[in-house]
Amino acid sequence: MAPLEVADFPWDRSRGLLGRAGIDGALLLHPAFVVHSFGMRFPIDVAYCDRDLRVIGVATMGRNRLGRPRIRARAVVEASAGAFATWRLGKGSRLAIESD
């Protein structure tokens, strides 16, 4: 289990991880179907999720890249590059959000 921040307001989604030196855990962008890493300080792992938070695609993005839109995606999870391998998160994984 990893800490999760939720960006569900337009301003929070458009800012994403910009301006940060890293993230402990992950950021959920909802709704979203495409992301970019322009202006990012670090590479990121990206998981595109359907409405049930099932991962339909993953990618690792270097800095200053534009991700490929995933039309079926309803949410996107961003984390520091390498985090998904540590968490064993991949296509077909189903995410669960738990509160404290």
Domain of residue 45, CATH code: 2.60.120.1140
Residue 100 has pLDDT above 80, yes or no: no
Supply the pLDDT for residue 27. Answer: 93
Q: Are strands 55-61 and 26-29 parallel, antiparallel or unpaired?
A: unpaired
Share of the chain above pLDDT 90, in %: 71
For the purposes of burial, counting CB atoms within 10 Å of the CB of 26, is it exposed (0-12), middle (13-18) or buried (19 or more)?
A: buried
Q: How many domains does the chain have?
A: 1
In a domain, 64, yes or no: yes
Asked if 45 contacts 80 with a C-beta cutoff of 8 angstroms, the reply is yes
CA distance 74 to 56: 10
In a domain, 57, yes or no: yes
* Mean pLDDT along residues 48-52: 97
